[in-house]
Amino acid sequence: MNLTEKSLGGNIWKQIASDERKAEVIYQKYALPFVVSKIISSRGIGLEEVEDFLDPRLQNLMPDPTILKDMSKATQKIADVVMSEKTVGIIGDYDVDGATSSAILRLYLEDLGKKVEVHIPEREEGYGPSKFAFDKFSALGIDFVVTTDCGTTAFEPFAYAKEKGFEVIVLDHHEAEVKLPEVYALVNPKRLDEENHVEYLKFLAAVGVVFMTLVAINRELRARGFFNNRPEPNLMKFLDLVALGTVCDVVPLVGLNRAFVKQGLKVIAKRENIGLKSLIDKANISEMPTSFHLGYMLGPRINAGGRVGKSFKANELLCSRDEKKAIKLAEELDEFNVQRKEIEAYVLLNAIEQLESVPQEFPMAFVYGHDWHQGVIGIVAGKLKERYNVPSFVMSIEEDEVKGSARSISGVDLGALIISAKEKGVIIKGGGHYMAAGFSLTEEQIPSFQKFVGEYVKAKLGEEEIVPVIEYDGVVDIDGATVEMAEKMQVLEPFGANNPEPKLVIKNVKVSYASVVGSGHIRCSLTSVKGGNLSAMAFRMADTEVGHALLNEKGNVFDVLGTLRKDTWQGRNSVKFFIEDITRG
C-alpha cells in the first residue's frame, strides 16, 4: 500500500521503523523471536530498559514514595489519624480510577481497624469535592478527609471545608495550576513544582499515587511500632485494583505503571477480592485475565454505576467482604451497563446527525443536547473522535449548567486547553489530561467556548485535511499467523497506552466466508492465494465500507491489518485475527 493511499477505512498505513541493530542485540541477549525483538526496539525502549520491560518488578521500579512533594507530610498526618479515634472521610471520583483508588484506601484503613465513610458524587453533583460532601461528613462528625482522583483544582470546596474546620489531604494525578488549593497536603506527580526525579511518575493514575501513599503510611506505622501487636496488611493484595484503575484510566503503561499492571494481573488471577471475583464471573471471563479484559469487560461495568446515577455501587462492590452482597452488586452493575449501552446509542446517533447536518467551520466535533445523559457523553466523545479523527467535545445541557466531556487526538493537549479556557472565563470549571477532559459552563457560554476551542484546535492542527495514520509492526502471511506466533507476542503484555497490542498486516488474502453476528460484527474466514485459512473478526463494521467489502467482495484480493490473538476454547488452542482495516490488494 502506498503511503499516500487511503485504505477502505479512510486511513493511511505506515510500518513502524525499527532499529535492526538494536533488535539483533535484544534477539541475542534475551533469546526472543526476532519479530518480537524488532517490536521492542521500535517502542523507544533502551537496551538498559529491556529487562524491566520484560519483567517489571515493583522493587526495581518504585522509588521511595517521599520523592513526591507533600508525601511525607501526608503520611505523617494519616499515620496520626490511624492511631487516633478519628473516623476518616474519603471523596473519590465516579470513574474506574476513582472507584479503585478510593477502594484501596478504604480497604487498607479498614484492615487497620479504622471506620471509614466514602462519598462518591453522582454526576449531577459534579466532579470532585463539593460543599454537599463536606456537609455530609460534618453531620457524621468527620473532620479529616482524603480525596482520591480529584481535588487538585477544587479551590472553592476546600475554602468551604477550611471554614468548617476540616483537615484535607489530596491524592490526585490531574493537571495542576500554578496556584494550589489550601489543604493540609497535596500529593500529585503533576504539580508544577514537582522536580520529576523519576520521569515516569508523572504518568501514574490516581490509584498508583494512592498505592505509593499506602507504602509510605505502612512504613511510618511500622517505624512507630504500630504493628508490634497486630498483623501488618499485605499491600500486594491491592495490586489487582491498582492494575484495573491504571488500565482503565488509559495512562501510559511505562515504568512503574507497567509493573503495577503486570503484577496486578497475577493478583487478579488469584480471585482474592470478592467483589472483583463476582464481576469477573458475571462477565464470563474464564481465561487468564489480560489488560483487554480490564479495559473492555470489567472497566465498563464498574463505570456503569456512575453513568446511570449509582456511583457508590462500584466502591461498594470492590470493598465488599460478603460474597452474597458482592454477587448482587455485580449483577446490578451488569444491568446498569446494559442501560448505559442503550442511552449511549441514542446520544451517539443524535450527535452524528447534528454534526453531519451542518457544515463545520473548525476541525473538531462540537455537539450538545438538552436530553443527553451526562453519564455517557465521555464515551460518545471518544466514539466521535474515532469516527472523524478530530478532537471531540460533547455537552449535556442541564437545568443549572452544561456538563461537557472531551477526547483528543495527537497534537491537541486538552488539559492545557481547558486550563486556558478557564483562565479566560469561557467556562466555569474543568480539568483533565492530554487526551481527555471534563468541564462545566453555562448555556450562554456555549458559542464563545465553541469559538475559543475551534480557534485553539485550528491553530494546533493547521489547515490541511487530517488523515489518520495506522502504524503497524510487521507483515506476515497466513501460514505465519499461528498459535505459536500469538504466544510469542504475549511476552510484550500487558498492552495499553504507549505499549499497544502489535498490529500486523497480512497481504493478498481473499474472504471465503463472511456473515454478520451480534451488534454489527462480522465473522469471516480468510484464505491465502497460496492456500491456508485464518479465522477472523471485524467488530462493529457491518455498516462501514470495510464491512461492505468483507461481506460482498468475496472474489477480490485484500491486504488486512489487525491483531493476532490466541483463542482458547474448551482446552483447545487456536488463533484468530481481529481486523481493524483493509485495503484492496
| pLDDT tens for each residue of 203-219 | 999 999 999 999 999 99
Q: What pLDDT score was predicted for residue 374? A: 86
User: How far is CA 240 from each of CA 202, 273, 321, 412, rounded to the nearest angstrom?
Assistant: 21, 8, 16, 32
Average of per-residue pLDDT across 50-61: 95
Count CB-CB contacts under 10 A for residue 342: 9
What whole-number distance in Å separates Cα of residue 129 and Cα of residue 164? 14
Q: What percent of the chain has pLDDT over 70?
A: 98
Q: What pLDDT score was predicted for residue 92? A: 96
What whole-number distance in Å separates Cα of residue 356 and Cα of residue 512? 35
In CATH, the architecture of 59-335 is Alpha-Beta Complex (3.90)
pLDDT beyond 70 at 353: yes
pLDDT beyond 50 at 62: yes
Sketch the domain layout of the chain as residue ranges: 1-16+473-585, 18-55, 59-335, 359-461
Average of per-residue pLDDT across 445-450: 96
pLDDT beyond 60 at 1: no
User: How far is CA 458 from each of CA 358, 362, 439, 454, 466, rounded to the nearest angstrom?
Assistant: 18, 6, 20, 6, 11
What whole-number distance in Å separates Cα of residue 249 and Cα of residue 207? 10
Q: How is the beta sheet containing 144-148 ordered, strand by strand?
A: 116-119, 88-91, 144-148, 167-171, 185-187
Reduce the secondary structure of 255-268 to three states and give it as a string. Answer: CHHHHHHHHHHHHH
E-only strand ranges, 120-265? 144-148, 167-171, 185-187
C-beta of residue 95 within 8 angstroms of C-beta of residue 248: yes
Residue whose cell numbers read 511505562: 254
Give residue 527's region: left, alpha or beta (phi > 0; psi -120 to 50).
beta
Per residue in 229-270, pLDDT tens? 999 999 999 999 999 999 999 899 999 999 999 999 999 999
pLDDT beyond 90 at 33: no
| pLDDT tier at 54, thresholds 50, 70, 90 | very high
pLDDT beyond 50 at 3: no
C-beta of residue 481 within 8 angstroms of C-beta of residue 459: no
Q: Enumerate residues 6+ apart whose C-beta is below 8 A from 319.
A: 103, 106, 107, 110, 118, 275
Q: What percent of the chain has pLDDT over 90?
A: 76
| SS3 (DSSP) at 48 | helix
Q: What pLDDT score was predicted for residue 2? A: 45
Q: How many CA atoms lie within 13 A of 79 on its CB side?
A: 21
What whole-number distance in Å separates Cα of residue 535 and Cα of residue 205? 37
Q: Does domain 1-16+473-585 have CATH number 2.40.50.140?
A: yes
Residue whose cell numbers read 499492571: 261
Per residue in 161-170, pLDDT tens? 999 999 999 9
CATH of 359-461, one of 3.30.930.10, 1.10.3720.10, 3.10.310.30, 3.40.1390.30: 3.10.310.30
pLDDT beyond 60 at 73: yes
Evaluate whether 59-335 and 359-461 have a shared fold: no
Count CB-CB contacts under 10 A for residue 27: 18
